[in-house]
Amino acid sequence: AQLERLETVLPPGEQGLGYAAGQLLNAMVDLASRPQDPSTREVVLARAQDVAARFASAGEQLDGLQAGVAQDLQNSLAGVNGLTQRIAEVNDQIARIGAMGQPANDLLDQRDQLISELSGYLQVTTIAAGDGSLGVFMASGQRLVLGKEVTPLVLVPDAYDVSRQAIGIVDNGVTRALPQQLIGAGSLGGVLRFQNEDLVAARNRLGQMATALATRLNEQQ
């Protein structure tokens, strides 16, 4: 879904950067043939402004995609933290019922469903405890739920680029960021990969194209 949004930033055909750049170069050819023609000069200026506007628009759209990523991550973390809190509550209920020697089949099914939903966000593993509760851990081994205790995930600025977001944990009152690879599979990992790889590559290449075109035009001038 994120990659589909990214495709709209650089459309093909007459709406694309390549078409606008081609129109500018064609206008420059006409100007070289008729350098004293005022209307030809005006066409060159108009084509140059169109190219600049399209580069600027693409950059703004990439900024918008980054803002959308941050919102998606925030919403996903709210979902993750809600699920881990509910898993912890069900763990507590299962342990209490088990201590009284009663079955907790409905609660066990409910917990399995919650863990299944959680695994859609990020890769998790579980470890059973003697009281019937389940410990839930990220693929990296980071604890999310232990008995009725929860380690929440939070959104923090990326250490290397404050325009990007990272996933962090709050452990004993201390917040620390988690490397992307520790998130594992799931929608959270997918959005982080898009932000840290695809979106970064698109932004870099857009800047490189703008610099290359401007530099060569200035050299020809």
Q: What is the mean pLDDT of each run of 10 residues along the chain (221 residues)?
A: 91 91 95 94 96 95 93 93 96 88 87 95 92 89 91 88 86 83 86 93 95 92 83
Q: What is the pLDDT of residue 192?
A: 92
Q: What is the pLDDT of residue 141?
A: 85
Q: What is the pLDDT of residue 171?
A: 77
pTM beyond 0.75: yes
Q: What is the pLDDT of residue 174?
A: 83
Q: What is the pLDDT of residue 181?
A: 81
**Residue pair 187/1 in contact by the 8 Å Cβ criterion:** no
Torsion region of 148: left, alpha or beta (phi above 0 gives left; psi -120 to 50 gives alpha): alpha
Q: What is the pLDDT of residue 59?
A: 95
Q: What is the pLDDT of residue 110?
A: 95
Q: What is the pLDDT of residue 111?
A: 94
